[in-house]
Chain A
Amino acid sequence: MTAPFTVSRATRASRIGGAAALVLILGLSTFPFWADAGWMREFDELSCYLIFALMWNLLAGYGGMVSIGQQAFVGVGGYSLLVLGNHLHVNPFLAVPLAVLVTLGAALPISFIAFRLQGGYFAIGTWVISEVLRISVANVSAVGGGSGTSLTALRGISRSTREAATFWLCLAGATMAITAVYGFLRSREGLALLALRDSETAAESQGVDVPRTKRAVYLIAAAGAGLAGALYFLGNLRISPDAAFTVNWSAFGIFIVVVGGVGTLEGTLVGVVLFYLLNKFFSDYGTWYLVGLGLLAVVVTLKRPAGLWGFVSQRFDLHFFPVHRRLIPRERERACAT
Chain B
Amino acid sequence: MLSFADTLVQGLLLGGLYALFALGQSLLFGVMRLTNTAHGDFIILAAFGAWSLSLLTGSPWLAMLLLLPLAFAGGYLLQRLVLNGTLGKDPMPSLVVTFGLAIIIQNLLQQIYTADPRSIDSGGLNTATFQIAEGLAVGALPLLIFGAAVALTAGLQLLFDRTDLGRAFRAVSDDREAAELMGLDHRHVYALATGIAFLLVAVAGTLQGMKTTVAPSDGPSLLLYAFEAVIIGGMGSFYGTLLGGMLLGVTQGIGFRIDPGWGIWSGHVVFLAALLLRPSGLFPRTR
- Residue pair B90, A124 in contact (C-beta under 8 Å): no
Tell me, yes or no, whether A90 is within 8 Å of chain B by CB: no
Q: A131-B268, A251-B99, A301-B93 are in contact. Are A120 and B111 (CB under 8 A)?
A: no
Docked complex: B90-123 residues within 8 A CB-CB of A: 90-97, 99-104, 106-108, 110-111
Which A residues are in CB contact (< 8 Å) with B276?
112-113, 116
Inter-subunit contact A120/B33 (CB<8 Å):
yes
Smallest CB gap from A119: residue in B: B91
Chain A residue nearest in CB terms to B275: A116
Binds B, one of A12-20, A266-274, A289-297, A309-317: A289-297
Q: Which of B125-133, B144-152, B189-197, B259-267 contacts A (4 or more CB under 8 A)?
A: B259-267
Given A297-B96, A298-B97, A301-B100, verify A124-B86 contact (CB < 8 Å): no
Among B35, B103, B106, B110, the one with the most A-chain Cβ atoms within 10 Å of its Cβ is B103
B35:A121 contact, CB within 8 angstroms: yes
Residues of A within 8 A of B271 (CB): 128
Q: Which one of A133-141, A147-155, A218-226 is at the B interface?
A: A133-141
Contact of B110 with A287 in the complex, beta carbons under 8 Å: yes
Contact, CB under 8 Å: B107 / A120: no
Residue contact A298 to B104, C-beta cutoff 8 Å: yes
A-B contact count (CB 8 A): 128
**A287-B262 contact in complex given A60-B92, A247-B220, C-beta closer than 8 Å:** no
User: In the complex, are the beta carbons of A136 and B265 less than 8 A apart?
Assistant: yes
Residue of A nearest to B259 (CB): A139
Asked if B35 and A132 sit within 8 Å, CB to CB, the answer is: no
A302 to B99, Cβ gap below 8 A? no
Report how far A132 CA is from B272 CA in the complex, Å. 10
B96 and A291 within 8 A (CB): no
Contact B224 A124 (CB under 8 A): yes
Q: Nearest 9 pairs between A and B by C-beta?
A: A120-B35, A294-B103, A298-B100, A287-B107, A294-B104, A119-B91, A297-B100, A135-B265, A294-B100
Listed A/B pairs (29) with beta-carbon separation below 8 Å: A60-B92, A64-B91, A64-B92, A66-B95, A68-B95, A112-B276, A113-B272, A113-B275, A117-B231, A117-B275, A117-B279, A120-B33, A123-B35, A124-B223, A128-B224, A128-B227, A131-B264, A131-B268, A135-B264, A288-B107, A290-B107, A294-B100, A294-B103, A294-B107, A297-B97, A298-B82, A301-B92, A301-B100, A302-B93
Contact surface of B with A, Cβ cutoff 8 Å: 29, 33-35, 37, 82, 85-86, 90-97, 99-104, 106-108, 110-111, 220, 223-224, 227-228, 231, 261-262, 264-265, 268-269, 271-272, 275-276, 279
